[in-house]
Each structure stands twice: as structure tokens, then as C-alpha cells.
């Protein structure tokens, strides 16, 4: 039997672009705080705050080469429009897991 492999680390599609290299570093360094903000807003039921964070994160992730993170942030925005706390929680949990994979994939983790 094979041991369960953890999900693969995620790297920026633009990690070799010197124009965004420092911005990627700063983005990844702040990612834990960003996710804390999502979790705090979700716990308070602050849908407006979640939408704002999701829009901001999607824009940054698009610019910095993280398409999976763009999709996860947009999923939170969509979940905010539904009347389903369970769907919202699942979206935030997915974003949290994805952010961990991004942090593991960043060159500072090596």
C-alpha cells in the first residue's frame, strides 16, 4: 500500500518574473494574516467583509500568478451570495488549505 501523499505545493506561475518577484514574496509572507481575516469574518458572519477580502485576494492572486487561489477567492464571493453557512465554511476551509500549499511552494519554504 502506498502512503497518503500530502497535496502538492503550489508555486506562482510568475515566480521567475523579476518584475513581480518581490511582490510575490510579500504576498506569501502576508498570506497567513489574510487567511486569518477570512476566518474571522466567516466566524462573525460578516459577508460584506468576506466579499471585500475575496475580491482583493482574487485580484492580487491573478496578478501574481496563482490561478487556483483566484478560483478559491471567487468561490467565497459566490458562497457569500448563497444562504448556506455550510457552503461558505467549506469555501473558507478550501482557501485555507490552498494557502498552506502556496506557502509550502514558495522559495522561502525550501
Each residue of 27-67: pLDDT tens digit? 999 999 999 999 999 999 999 999 999 999 999 999 999 99
Please give the tally of structural domains in the chain: 1
The answer to whether position 75 is within a domain reads: yes
Query: Three cell numbers at 89?
Result: 465554511
Give CA–CA dist 39/4, Å, rounded: 27
The answer to whether position 15 is within a domain reads: no
- Domain span holding position 84: 21-109
Closest listed residue to residue 99, CA positions, set 15, 5, 3, 7: 7
- For residue 110, pLDDT over 70 is answered with no
Closest listed residue to residue 38, CA positions, set 21, 61, 22, 14: 61
The answer to whether position 86 is within a domain reads: yes
pLDDT at position 83: 80
What is the band of 2 on the pLDDT scale with cuts at 50, 70, 90? Answer: low
The answer to whether position 9 is within a domain reads: no
The answer to whether position 72 is within a domain reads: yes
CATH code where residue 95 lies: 1.20.120
The answer to whether position 16 is within a domain reads: no
The answer to whether position 2 is within a domain reads: no
Mean pLDDT of 79-84: 88
The answer to whether position 59 is within a domain reads: yes
Amino acid at each position: 500500500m502506498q502512503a497518503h501523499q500530502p497535496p502538492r505545493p503550489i508555486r506562482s506561475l510568475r515566480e521567475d518574473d523579476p518584475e513581480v518577484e518581490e511582490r510575490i514574496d510579500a504576498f506569501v509572507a502576508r498570506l497567513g494574516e489574510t487567511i486569518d481575516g477570512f476566518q474571522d469574518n466567516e466566524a462573525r458572519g460578516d459577508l460584506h467583509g468576506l466579499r471585500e477580502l475575496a475580491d482583493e485576494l482574487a485580484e492580487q492572486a491573478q496578478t501574481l500568478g496563482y490561478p487556483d487561489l483566484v478560483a478559491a477567492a471567487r468561490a467565497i464571493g459566490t458562497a457569500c451570495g448563497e444562504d448556506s453557512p455550510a457552503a461558505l465554511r467549506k469555501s473558507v476551509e478550501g482557501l485555507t488549505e490552498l494557502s498552506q500549499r502556496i506557502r509550502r511552494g514558495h522559495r522561502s519554504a525550501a
